[in-house]
Amino acid sequence: MAVNIKLSKEQQQYLAVGLLLLGGGGFVYIKYFWLPVSEKIAETRKKIEEVEGKIAKAKNQAVRLNKIQKELEDLNIAALEAEKRLPKSQDLPAVIDTMTALSRRFNFKLQSFTPGSSKPQPHFIETNYAIAGNATFHELGRFLAAIALEERIYNVRGITYGTPDGEGRMSVTFQLISYQYKG
158 dihedral zone (left: phi>0; alpha: psi -120 to 50; beta)? left
Q: What is the mean pLDDT of residues 53-82?
A: 90
pLDDT tens digits for range 129-149: 999 999 999 999 999 999 999
- Residue range 32-45, pLDDT digits in tens: 888 888 999 999 99
In the chain, what are the domain boundaries? 11-85, 92-181
Angle formed by the axes of helices 92-105 and 137-148, nearest 10°: 140
Quick: pLDDT tens for 72-104: 999 999 888 888 888 888 888 999 999 999 999
CA separation for the pair 61, 29 (Å, rounded)? 46
For the cut 80, the answer to whether the pLDDT of residue 2 exceeds it is no
Helix/strand/coil for 86 = coil
User: For residue 4, is pLDDT > 80?
Assistant: no
Give the homologous superfamily in CATH for domain 92-181: Ribosomal protein S6/Translation elongation factor EF1B (3.30.70.60)
> In this predicted structure, what is the pLDDT of residue 62?
85
Predicted TM-score (pTM) of the model is 0.62
Which of 129, 93, 133, 131 has the alpha carbon at shortest distance from 110? 133
